Amino acid sequence: MAPKANIVMTDHAVKALAFIQEYRYLTVNQVAEITGLKPKSSSEMLLRLERQKLLSFFGNVGQRGYGKTPKVYYLTKRGYGVLADEFDARGLILEPYRPINVSSRWSQHMYHRIATIDG
């Protein structure tokens, strides 16, 4: 078995991962709002978690006439394992892992879904 990576989880990172697990996927601005961080700090935190393979993303592609779609993060199986360990250490219960289907193309429905979470 491969050794676990040396991952330091801050309270902001745990909170971000927990809300991403709850809502299935979130944008940088949504995570910033939830954690109370500035969008730049939130973006750097999410990028660090992505590089540690705790998160993955979809979006962030150009659409003719609209610019780029937002980068939307979701929890990976490895990220769920780390989050479950953090919840266990804190005596909290975590819902089961639900994989995300990212094989479909970006649609206008996604903007509606993101706005629904914001509201």
Residue 60, token pair as written in the block: 């962030």
Task: Report the C-alpha gap between 74 and 45 in whole angstroms.
Answer: 14
Average pLDDT, stretch 44-70? Answer: 88
Residue 106 has pLDDT above 70, yes or no: no
Q: What are phi and psi of 35, to 5 degrees?
A: -85, -15
Non-local (6+) Cβ contacts of 26 within 8 A are 16, 19, 20, 34, 72, 73, 117
Is 115 in contact with 23 (CB distance < 8 Å)? no
d(CA 108, CA 85): 36
**What structural domains and CATH numbers belong to the chain?**
11-97 (1.10.10.10)
The verdict on pTM exceeding 0.85 is no
> Who wins on pLDDT, 35 or 110?
35
Element of type H or E holding 72: strand 71-75
Which pLDDT tens digit goes with each residue over 1-51? 444 557 778 999 999 999 999 998 899 999 999 999 999 999 999 999 999
Q: What angle do CA 29, 35, 40 make, to 5 degrees?
A: 45
